C-alpha cells in the first residue's frame, strides 16, 4: 500500500507538532507545510536544514523569504494538489476559507479545535468515535482540554460499566509559552458555565451528561482538569486506577514521585529529551483518585501543545480508511509516536 500523502497548513504551535507527528508515521508521507510569513518557527525550520518543504499561502510575500535565504517549494495551491489529506492548523476562521480550496481539489482535510464544528462532517476523537470518521471528507478535532478529558471519560465509560454524567473543573493556562498578546497578568478569570469542553464532550459522547466550569490562570505550561464521574454502577478507586492504567495515552503519576504539578511534568518531558518538552500522554495523579459515595473523582494534566497530535493521526487513519477500527487505528498511531514506551 502506498503511503498516504499529507500536507500541513499553518506552521505554528500545533502545525510544527503535526508535521513532526506525520513524519514519524511509517505509513504516511509529509509532502510539505504552508505558512504566510517567515516567523521564528519558519526561521528555525530553515536553520534545521529545511527537513520539510515549505509552501506559501496566498498573501505571503516571497521577497521576505528570499531575503532570509529560506527555500520555497511552491504555492499553497500546489501543495494541496500533491496530497491526499490536509491537516489545517491555520488561525481560527482561516480553515473554513481554506476548505473551499480543498473541496475544489477533491482533497480531504482535518481541522483543529479553533474552527467551528460546522466546518466538518464529523467532530472526531480517536478513542470515543473513531468509526464515525471512516471515509469522512472533513473531520474536526476536539480542543486540547476536550481531547485529554475524553480519553479518561471514555476509558471509565468502557471499562467500568458505563457513565451517566460528569462534572468538570478546568484550570486553564492563559496562553502558550512565548505568547505575549494576552498581556502580563496576576489574576484568575472565570468563564460562564457550562464550559465548551463539557458541551463538546456531550457532542462526542451524547450518552454522558456533562457540565463544567473553566478558570483561566496566568501560567503557560498546561491545564489541570478535575472530574467528578457518576457511573451506572459504583466505581471504586481500584477499578478506576486499573482502567486508567490500561489507557495507552494516559500516564499514571503521583505526588510522592515528585510530580507536584504542571511544571514538574513539563520539566520531566524536557529531561526525557522530548522535542520541545512535549508529551503526548495526559498525566493522571493516582493521589487524586477518590471515591465520593458512588462517584469517583480524579485530576489530570493536559500538555496543551502536543496532546491533540495523536488524535489527529487517528483522524488521518479513519478518513483514509487506513485501519477500520479504533483499536487498530489508535494502536498504529501509538506505535509510530512511541506512546507507552515508558511502561516497559
Domains by residue range for the chain, with CATH: 4-142+308-343 (3.40.50.720), 144-302 (3.30.360.10)
Catalytic residue among 110, 144, 156, 300: 144
Mean pLDDT of 322-334: 98
CB-facing half-sphere around the CA of 138: CA atoms within 13 A: 18
7: which DSSP letter?
A: E
Q: Can 160 be counted among the known catalytic residues?
A: no
The whole-number average pLDDT for the span 229-258 is 97
Q: How many Cβ atoms sit within 10 Å of the Cβ of residue 90?
A: 25
* Amino acid 113: pLDDT: 84
Q: Is the backbone peptide bond immediately before 16 cis, with ω within 30 degrees of 0?
A: no
Check: CB of residue 249 under 8 Å from CB of residue 151: yes
Residue 50, all three cell numbers: 529545511
Say what the pLDDT of residue 223 is. 92
pLDDT bracket for residue 1 (50, 70, 90)? low
pTM of the model: 0.95
What grid cell was written down for 259? 510530580
344: confidence class by pLDDT, cuts 50, 70, 90: low
- Gap between the Cα atoms of 57 and 78, Å rounded: 10
Task: Determine whether the annotation assigns residue 77 to a binding site.
Answer: no
Query: Residues 88-93: what's their mean pLDDT?
Result: 92
Q: Which residues contact 34 (CB under 8 A, 6 or more apart)?
A: 7, 8, 9, 10, 11, 54, 55, 56, 57, 76, 79
Q: For 12, which DSSP code?
A: S
DSSP-assigned letters across all residues of 108-153: EEEE-TTS-GGGSSEEE-TTTSGGGGTT-SEEEEPPHHHHHHHHHH
Question: How deeply is 153 buried, as exposed, middle or buried, from its count of CB atoms within 10 A (0-12, 13-18, 19+)?
Answer: buried
Neighbours of 41 (CB within 10 A): 17
Amino acid at each position: 500500500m502506498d503511503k498516504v500523502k499529507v500536507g500541513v497548513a499553518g506552521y505554528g504551535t500545533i502545525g510544527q507538532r503535526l508535521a513532526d507527528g506525520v513524519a514519524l508515521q511509517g505509513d504516511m508521507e509529509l509532502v510539505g507545510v504552508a505558512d504566510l510569513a517567515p516567523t521564528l518557527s519558519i526561521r528555525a525550520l530553515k536553520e534545521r536544514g529545511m527537513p520539510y518543504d515549505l509552501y506559501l499561502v496566498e498573501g505571503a510575500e516571497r521577497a521576505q523569504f528570499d531575503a532570509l535565504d529560506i527555500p520555497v517549494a511552491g504555492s499553497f495551491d500546489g501543495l494541496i494538489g500533491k496530497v491526499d489529506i490536509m491537516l489545517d492548523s491555520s488561525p481560527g476562521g482561516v480553515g473554513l476559507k481554506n476548505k473551499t480550496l480543498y473541496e475544489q481539489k477533491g482533497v480531504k482535510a482535518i481541522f483543529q479545535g479553533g474552527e467551528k464544528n460546522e466546518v466538518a462532517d464529523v467532530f472526531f476523537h480517536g478513542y470515543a468515535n473513531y468509526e464515525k470518521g471512516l471515509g469522512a471528507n472533513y473531520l474536526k478535532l476536539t480542543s486540547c482540554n476536550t481531547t485529554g478529558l475524553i480519553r479518561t471519560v471514555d476509558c471509565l465509560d468502557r471499562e467500568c460499566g458505563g457513565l451517566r454524567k460528569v462534572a468538570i473543573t478546568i484550570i486553564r493556562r492563559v496562553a502558550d509559552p512565548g505568547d505575549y498578546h494576552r498581556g502580563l497578568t496576576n489574576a484568575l478569570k472565570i468563564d460562564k458555565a457550562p464550559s465548551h469542553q463539557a458541551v463538546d464532550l456531550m457532542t462526542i459522547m451524547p450518552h454522558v451528561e456533562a457540565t463544567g466550569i473553566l478558570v483561566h490562570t496566568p501560567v503557560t505550561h498546561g491545564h489541570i482538569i478535575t472530574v467528578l464521574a457518576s457511573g451506572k454502577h459504583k466505581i471504586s478507586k481500584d477499578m478506576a486506577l486499573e482502567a486508567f492504567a490500561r489507557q495507552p495515552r494516559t500516564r499514571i503519576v503521583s505526588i510522592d514521585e515528585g510530580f507536584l504539578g504542571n511544571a514538574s511534568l513539563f520539566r520531566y518531558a524536557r529531561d526525557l529529551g522530548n522535542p520541545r518538552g512535549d508529551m503526548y500522554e495526559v498525566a493522571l495523579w493516582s493521589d487524586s483518585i477518590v471515591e465520593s459515595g458512588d462517584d469517583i473523582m480524579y485530576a489530570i494534566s493536559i500538555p496543551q501543545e502536543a496532546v491533540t497530535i495523536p488524535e489527529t493521526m487517528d483522524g488521518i487513519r479513519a478518513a483514509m480508511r487506513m485501519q477500520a477500527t479504533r483499536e487498530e487505528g489508535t494502536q498504529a498511531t501509538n506505535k509510530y509516536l512511541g506512546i507507552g514506551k515508558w511502561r516497559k
